[in-house]
Amino acid sequence: MAAKGLIFDIKRFSVNDGPGIRTTVFFKGCPLDCRWCHNPESQSCEPEPISVTRRLNGKEYQHQETVGKYMTVEEVMAELLKENIFHETSGGGVTFSGGEPLFQPEFLADLARACRTRNIHTCLDTSGYCDPCLFSRLIPLFDLFLYDIKIFDRDQHIQYTGYPNDEILANLRQLDKTGVPYIIRVPVIPGVNDDAESMNSLLTFTGSLGNPVKEVHFLPYHPLAFHKLENLGRTDKMDKSIRINESELHKFVIEFEQAGCKVKTGG
């Protein structure tokens, strides 16, 4: 059993990370470096200082906190079990997110097994960037995958995330063959993957998958990370003025629906 995992948040009453009411466990550490990362505090594999603003009696106070805490499986399970009544009554469960949970594979596997023994529904929210042999061993531990496909073009993927997407696509293909349910999630980033060519590549790839239930969630870019980056003492690599073209996105949604996909826009 992995001794401890690095967690940066445990969010209760989450309704956007899988079915029902869920508790989302955010793993800290990610191998990718997406320019638009909405959780920049999740990227480093170490606890790190963050500047936090608190309001008291109408005044604002700034102080330093540490983001990221080493926890045992038992400590995380104790938090999850407090919420179990909500999971059970809503058809929810636990979602592992990040960061990239697969970056701490032993701890993730131990947590998923602990949830299984308690009959807690488990969902893995992942970039899929992981050694395919390791990924295939972990697939059976989860009831549902929220699987990110960011960019189809390999060179562009390297340009915007720092790494190629070969393993990501290979891992989705092997997940597809297992029959374990998954939802494809696409962060829609203006000027990066919101053009017709990118969307057509995604649509063609989705059509080639064997899973008869093709569910795709589009997650439009919001410049939410700006303040977090400031608080971490880092600079934003994105142009804050860019915005999603809603009507263009709506056209893509219709194309995906016409191709038989179940589509949702937003978290």
- Least separation in angstroms between residue 63's CB and ligand SF4 is 25
Task: Return the number of the residue (98 or 220) whose C-beta is nearest ligand SF4.
Answer: 98
Residues 198-217 that bind ligand SF4 (CB under 6 A): none
- Of residues 6, 7, 10, 37, which one binds ligand SF4 by CB under 6 A? 37
Candidates 18-26, 29-37, 50-58, 114-122 — which segment interacts with ligand SF4 by CB under 6 A?
Answer: 29-37
Residue 233, judged by CB atoms within 10 A of its CB (0-12, 13-18, 19+), counts as exposed
Asked if 189 touches ligand SF4 (CB under 6 A), the answer is no
Asked if 100 touches ligand SF4 (CB under 6 A), the answer is yes
- Of residues 14, 24, 42, 95, which one binds ligand SF4 by CB under 6 A? 42
Asked if 43 touches ligand SF4 (CB under 6 A), the answer is yes
Alpha-carbon distance of 142 to 65, in angstroms, equals 33
Using DSSP, state whether 262 is helix, strand or coil: strand
Contact indicator for 194, 188 with CB cutoff of 8 Å: yes
Task: Return the number of the residue (20 or 105) whose C-beta is nearest ligand SF4.
Answer: 105
- Of residues 21, 25, 32, 94, which one binds ligand SF4 by CB under 6 A? 32
Around 229, how many Cα atoms within 13 Å sit in the side-chain half-sphere?
A: 14
Listed in order, strand segments (DSSP E) in the chain are: 5-14, 22-27, 48-56, 59-67, 69-71, 93-97, 122-126, 144-148, 182-188, 215-220, 262-265
Give the number of residues in contact with ligand SF4, rule: CB under 6 A: 12
Asked if 24 touches ligand SF4 (CB under 6 A), the answer is no
Residues 127-186 that bind ligand SF4 (CB under 6 A): 127
Contact indicator for 186, 179 with CB cutoff of 8 Å: no
Asked if 98 touches ligand SF4 (CB under 6 A), the answer is yes
- Least separation in angstroms between residue 195's CB and ligand SF4 is 20
Around 263, how many Cα atoms within 13 Å sit in the side-chain half-sphere?
A: 19
Which residue, chain included where needed, has tokens 């960011």?
Answer: 150
Asked if 83 touches ligand SF4 (CB under 6 A), the answer is no
Contact indicator for 3, 72 with CB cutoff of 8 Å: yes
Q: Which residues form the interface with ligand SF4 (CB under 6 A)?
A: 30, 32-34, 37, 39, 42-43, 98-100, 127
